[in-house]
Structure 1
Amino acid sequence: MEYEIIHLPKEKWKGTVIPLKYTTDTYYDVCVDKTENGYGIAIEKQAFLEPITYASEADDSEDKLYGDHWENAYAWGVLVNGELIAAIETDQELWSNRLRITELWVAEPYQKQGIGHALLEVAKEQARRERRRAIILETQSCNVNAVDFYEHEGFRLIGMDTCCYNNNDLERKEVRLEFGWFLEEKQQLSRDWIDIRKETESDWYNVELITQHAFWNKYQPGCVEHYLVHHLRQHEDYLPALSRVAVKDGEIIGCVMYTKSQVVDGLSTHEVITFGPLCVEPKWQGCGVGELLIKETMKLAASEGYKGVIIFGEADYYPKFGFKTCDHFNITTADGKNFAAFMGMELVEGSMQGIQGKFYESNVFSQLSKEAVEAYNENFPPLQKLQFPGQWS
């Protein structure tokens, strides 16, 4: 049976009790000894004389979704006939750039069916999207099944607290253990390792597929960018002479597409260009592919005589290439606004002097109906739509 993971909105699910309960006949015995040169710590699996059962409500510490002490909590879950049978909740530990899993629970009849793994994959995706350096979580030394599960999912022990629940946690054999999962450190690709070239018709499907993968659930549940790529190729504003794909070992791993755009000041119209989508296959993100595509194609655009590039993009990414917010150029959006994600860059020093007014991107970006996108999705393997913190919708 397949289970759909959905977002659990705070306004509806705050205060929902998570009935954590487990029975175990083993535990990890934690021993901390002072030695002549420091401390000796041993954690070894041992057997209880008889099985014990733990339930959170039994000690007046009920676990609940969206607890008041979690300021940035976000939860997902699985419903069966309207009943919550599994849930995961995360909270952004902003000061350390880590993501904490605050709750993870699967009802006993639904355990060992892959639901816990699927919920953890959602948290891992959130960590990747937010560029967190790690995911951390808490479990107890007596919850051996949980420890084994987290280790199987790639988590490792990073610390402990011997008096978290009571002052005699060591004696009670219930010590708080902290586990962490760390995002993979990516190797930067040099220009010599990839081929950057024009797209061919035989590339179309793969380019759209990696675009879908790159943008899926990024700005909204699902995405439209793969359909935009398809639609863009037939549009009069598309600039195939500037657009490029990145290829490694025969596999397309990235692409960037350019369009004509305009800055209008009264009766004066100035042509500029815009790139987007710029995308990289997720497994190659963080390896510098996007940077290589941007730098190479902007050099090409400058050699072709274009004066400037204006984009809507991530405000913490593009300034490293020299992009500035458009108020530096006296350029606003079509409705007269400026904001951090609205940026421009001269392709040659001083080339945008005298260009000011209101920016108008190609109308290709406004010709993407929801119905057309959904119909086009049928050309690709199905992906689950999910809500994440920070999405536009």
Structure 2
Amino acid sequence: MEYEIIHLPKETWKGTIIPIRYKTKKYYDVIVNKNDNGFAIEIEKKDFTEPVTHTPEEYDFPDKLYEDHWENAYAWGVLDKGELVAAIETDPELWSNRLRVTELWVAEKYQKQGIGHTLIEMAKEQARRERRRAIILETQSCNVNAIDFYQHEGFTFIGMDTCCYKNNDLQRKEVRLELGWFPEKKRRISAEEIEIRMETKDDWYNVELMAQRAFWNKHHLGCDEHYLVHKLREDKDYLPELSRIAVKDGKVIGCIMYSKSRIVDGADTHEIITFGPLCVEPKWQGCGVGELLLRETMNLATNKGYKGIVIFGEPDYYPRIGFKTCDNFNITTADGRNFDAFMGIELTQDGMKGIKGKFYESEAFENLPEEEVEEYNKKFPKLQKLRFPGQWD
């Protein structure tokens, strides 16, 4: 596909009409029959006697981006010479942890060029990032091309509404169909299936490449974690004796890097450790690789006499390993704050008892100038910077 997908900001694109139109010679006939045991439903592709065309003009409420009832909508699209020629919009259904595709449109001239597939992949990537259990969407039983496209993209029939548009939708052959896509359930990997070891110089490039893929567009446009990996190796606070990589079938699929940090309480300074980045190849995320790395290296740190670990990390992940927010340890950030993502864990019973104050990590975490990161990116295959919901900036 030669066209670039971009984020369509709400403040610019709210109210933009999506001119969905299509012509079809076929339809999926929906037949609902009541019988003694309940209902029998049949859905079968059939031919119209004459082609049917649907246009935006026939509807009282044409499709628009960022409608008010989609409170958390997010849209991407394709522009050609400043004109919108394709778009997808999503909105998370928070109560059921599903992601709804509220709009998907590709102008006729631009169809069959892979744009629709790429837009659906954006929704799948969002669902993966947000750990949604499904993607759902609506289409019409007479929009055969759309139904066939969605099935090709892995969607399946999950339900219908026989009076969504009018009370005679069944007779008009325009029934609302609900389709769904379900992420592949990942199998947790066992310790016997991977090798956890120290990295060698020959691993450096592959470790950094994996780190870049793991964090790309996660917290910001692009990422700098792969450059942090590079910088940490040169830093006086780096702890290679604790840091490890995970290797499967000869490929690096994860890494965890440790460094010295300190808790300062007036004139008193206590040495402690932190880790970061902890990263896993996207293909293997959700399979337990990060936890295996973490548990093994925590044992190493305990055996070397370290008292505890303090991190900035994902609050929906680390507490199940045993991490607690740092207010439990009378520890704050350097500027005196506490929040859910600032956590710690004692490596021995009462290991951090008597340690209190402000947390300071290695200067390597702060010394990542954007221009240096951009220059370092030239070492790796080019990746597109894209906006996703939940990014920090």
The code of the aligned residue for 2:341 comes to: A
The code of the aligned residue for 1:44 comes to: E
Report SS of the residue matched to 1:279.
strand
Report SS of the residue matched to 1:17.
coil
| Structure 2 partner of 1:244 | 244
| Structure 2 partner of 1:59 | 59
Moved over 3 A (4+): none
Gaps of 5+ in 1: none
The code of the aligned residue for 1:184 comes to: E
Following TM superposition, by how much is the alpha carbon of 1:35 offset from its aligned partner in structure 2, in angstroms?
1.8
| Structure 1 partner of 2:281 | 281
CA distance in structure 2 between the aligned counterparts of 1:100 and 1:40, rounded to whole angstroms: 28
Following TM superposition, by how much is the alpha carbon of 1:375 offset from its aligned partner in structure 2, in angstroms?
1.0
CA distance in structure 1 between the aligned counterparts of 2:224 and 2:10, rounded to whole angstroms: 27
The code of the aligned residue for 2:374 comes to: E
The code of the aligned residue for 2:364 comes to: V
Within a 5 Å distance, the mapping from 1:159-170 to structure 2 comes to 159-170=159-170
CA distance in structure 1 between the aligned counterparts of 2:272 and 2:49, rounded to whole angstroms: 76
Q: When the two structures are superposed, what TM-score results if normalisation uses the length of structure 2?
A: 0.99
Following TM superposition, by how much is the alpha carbon of 1:57 offset from its aligned partner in structure 2, in angstroms?
2.7
User: CA-to-partner distance for each residue in 1:335-384, whole Å, 9 max, x for gaps?
Assistant: 00000000011010111011100000100011111111111111111111
| Structure 2 partner of 1:255 | 255
| Structure 1 partner of 2:79 | 79
CA distance in structure 2 between the aligned counterparts of 1:203 and 1:57, rounded to whole angstroms: 59
Gaps of 5+ in 2: none
Report SS of the residue matched to 1:272.
strand
The code of the aligned residue for 1:71 comes to: E
| Structure 1 partner of 2:29 | 29
Is 2:295 aligned against 1:325? no
Q: When the two structures are superposed, what TM-score results if normalisation uses the length of structure 1?
A: 0.99
User: CA-to-partner distance for each residue in 1:284-307, whole Å, 9 max, x for gaps?
Assistant: 111100010000000100100111
Within a 5 Å distance, the mapping from 1:77-156 to structure 2 comes to 77-156=77-156
The code of the aligned residue for 2:241 comes to: A
Report SS of the residue matched to 2:52.
strand
| Structure 2 partner of 1:229 | 229
Report SS of the residue matched to 1:112.
coil
| Structure 2 partner of 1:70 | 70
The code of the aligned residue for 2:125 comes to: E
Report SS of the residue matched to 1:32.
strand
CA distance in structure 1 between the aligned counterparts of 2:271 and 2:80, rounded to whole angstroms: 55
Following TM superposition, by how much is the alpha carbon of 1:56 offset from its aligned partner in structure 2, in angstroms?
2.4
Following TM superposition, by how much is the alpha carbon of 1:129 offset from its aligned partner in structure 2, in angstroms?
0.3
| Structure 2 partner of 1:216 | 216
Following TM superposition, by how much is the alpha carbon of 1:61 offset from its aligned partner in structure 2, in angstroms?
2.2
CA distance in structure 2 between the aligned counterparts of 1:174 and 1:384, rounded to whole angstroms: 39
| Structure 1 partner of 2:200 | 200
Report SS of the residue matched to 1:84.
strand
| Structure 2 partner of 1:3 | 3
Within a 5 Å distance, the mapping from 1:166-185 to structure 2 comes to 166-185=166-185
CA distance in structure 1 between the aligned counterparts of 2:203 and 2:285, rounded to whole angstroms: 20
Report SS of the residue matched to 1:354.
coil
| Cα RMSD, aligned residues only | 0.8
Following TM superposition, by how much is the alpha carbon of 1:193 offset from its aligned partner in structure 2, in angstroms?
1.3
Is 2:174 aligned against 1:186? no
Within a 5 Å distance, the mapping from 1:333-372 to structure 2 comes to 333-372=333-372
Report SS of the residue matched to 1:29.
strand
Following TM superposition, by how much is the alpha carbon of 1:251 offset from its aligned partner in structure 2, in angstroms?
1.5
Following TM superposition, by how much is the alpha carbon of 1:112 offset from its aligned partner in structure 2, in angstroms?
0.6
CA distance in structure 2 between the aligned counterparts of 1:189 and 1:59, rounded to whole angstroms: 51
| Structure 2 partner of 1:298 | 298
Report SS of the residue matched to 2:386.
coil
Is 2:270 aligned against 1:270? yes
Following TM superposition, by how much is the alpha carbon of 1:191 offset from its aligned partner in structure 2, in angstroms?
1.0
| Structure 2 partner of 1:374 | 374
User: CA-to-partner distance for each residue in 1:306-347, whole Å, 9 max, x for gaps?
Assistant: 111000000111001111100111100000000000001101
Aligned sequence identity (%) = 72
CA distance in structure 1 between the aligned counterparts of 2:59 and 2:217, rounded to whole angstroms: 39
User: CA-to-partner distance for each residue in 1:152-183, whole Å, 9 max, x for gaps?
Assistant: 00111111111111110000000000010101
CA distance in structure 1 between the aligned counterparts of 2:57 and 2:391, rounded to whole angstroms: 35
Report SS of the residue matched to 2:102.
strand
Following TM superposition, by how much is the alpha carbon of 1:36 offset from its aligned partner in structure 2, in angstroms?
2.2
Report SS of the residue matched to 2:95.
helix
